């Protein structure tokens, strides 16, 4: 059957695969025929993702990417890759007057520095094949909009937005494409954590601002990742795709 979006025969590394968007991307990529290399910090939850994959020969590697040794060891264990999805990240609400250095460093380390260093190491060790595809899961926050208490998170994601453009230029000579996806509100554990801070009413109010009147699902993001990882996107680099149910229009 004709399918320009097939990932058959491709090997794809996905970080932050133990839950949420990362898990959704891993499962959907495996359904499209990819062999996936999963990485995450939580062994039990990473294994849950592993068990929900379609197909064979998938790999899981426990790693905390903010730890240099873990990062180096992950790169060493990686097979040749056709694609890399940098998804691992954390949210953090901090209003400007209470920004603490420690918390700021934590969020920038996990959301910005580790993904950039991992990309660099994968390229240096020639783990990505010619014509490979790198996809960053960024956010509408920091690129298109921001919201109360999100200034540090926005800074961490906005930096990735800039990196994607520069890396797309650097890696073009190797025909490696670099793109990003900016999701809006997606139903994940991160959102459940936010539920402890916000009332159900506040979350419902937020949904009213989404023209398509529903919250995003991990699959909504995964399908965009599949496109960017597939040969269908072979002339797409340095681009960012907003997946937000129309939120940034409203």
Q: Which residues are catalytic?
A: 153
For other proteins, give the closer residue by CB, 198 or 223. Answer: 198
User: If binding is defined by CB under 8 A, does position 102 make contact with other proteins?
Assistant: no
Measured in residues, the chain has a length of 250
Question: Which is nearest to 190 in space by CA: 42, 43, 21, 25?
Answer: 21
Size of the site for other proteins (CB under 8 A): 13
User: If binding is defined by CB under 8 A, does position 223 make contact with other proteins?
Assistant: no
For other proteins, give the closer residue by CB, 42 or 100. Answer: 100
Helix (H) or strand (E) holding 121: helix 114-124
Q: Which of 9, 44, 51, 98 touches other proteins (CB under 8 A)?
A: 98
User: If binding is defined by CB under 8 A, does position 207 make contact with other proteins?
Assistant: no
Q: Which of 100, 120, 189, 234 touches other proteins (CB under 8 A)?
A: 100
Name residues contacting other proteins, limited to 181-200 (CB under 8 A): 196-199
- Classify residue 40 by burial, with Cβ atoms within 10 Å: 0-12, 13-18, 19+: buried
Beta strands, E only, the chain: 11-15, 35-40, 59-62, 81-86, 128-137, 177-183, 240-243
Please give the distance of CA 43 from its chain centroid, rounded to a whole number. 19
CA distance 140 to 242: 7
Mask 131-160, x = binds other proteins (CB under 8 A)? -----------------xx-----------
CA distance 59 to 74: 11
User: If binding is defined by CB under 8 A, does position 95 make contact with other proteins?
Assistant: yes
For other proteins, give the closer residue by CB, 1 or 148. Answer: 148
For other proteins, give the closer residue by CB, 44 or 196. Answer: 196
Alpha carbon separation from 130 to 10, 119, 136, 149, 217 (Å, rounded): 12, 15, 18, 41, 32
Q: Which stretch binds other proteins (CB under 8 A): 81-89, 92-100, 134-142, 207-215?
A: 92-100
Mask 46-85, x = binds other proteins (CB under 8 A)? ----------------------------------------
User: If binding is defined by CB under 8 A, does position 215 make contact with other proteins?
Assistant: no
Query: Are the C-beta atoms of residues 64 and 70 closer than 8 Å to each other?
Result: yes
Three state DSSP letters for 47-68: HHHHHCCCCCCCEEEECCCCCH
* Site of interaction with other proteins (CB under 8 A): 93-95, 97-98, 100, 148-149, 196-199, 202
């Amino acid at each position: 059957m004709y399918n320009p979006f097939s990932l058959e025969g491709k090997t794809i590394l996905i970080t932050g695969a133990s839950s949420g968007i990362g898990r959704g991307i891993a499962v959907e990529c495996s359904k499209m025929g990819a062999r996936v290399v999963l990485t995450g910090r939580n062994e039990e939850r990473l294994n849950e993702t592993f068990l929900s994959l379609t197909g064979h020969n998938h790999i899981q590697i426990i790693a905390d990417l903010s730890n240099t040794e873990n990062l180096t060891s992950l790169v060493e264990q990686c097979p040749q890759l056709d694609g890399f999805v940098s998804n691992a990240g954390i949210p953090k609400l901090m209003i400007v007057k209470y920004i603490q250095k420690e918390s700021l460093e934590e969020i920038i380390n996990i959301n910005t520095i580790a993904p950039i260093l991992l990309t660099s190491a994968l390229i240096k060790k020639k783990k990505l094949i010619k014509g490979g595809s790198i996809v960053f899961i960024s956010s509408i926050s920091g690129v298109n909009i921001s919201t109360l208490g999100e200034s540090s998170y926005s800074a961490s994601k906005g930096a990735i937005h800039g990196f994607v453009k520069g890396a797309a230029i650097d890696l073009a000579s190797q025909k490696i494409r670099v793109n990003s996806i900016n999701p809006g509100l997606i139903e994940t554990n991160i959102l459940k954590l936010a539920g402890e801070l916000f009332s159900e009413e506040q979350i419902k109010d937020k949904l009213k601002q989404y023209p398509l009147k529903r919250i995003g699902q991990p699959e909504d993001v995964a399908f965009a990742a599949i496109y960017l990882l597939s040969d269908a996107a072979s002339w797409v680099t340095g681009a960012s795709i907003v997946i937000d149910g129309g939120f940034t229009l409203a």
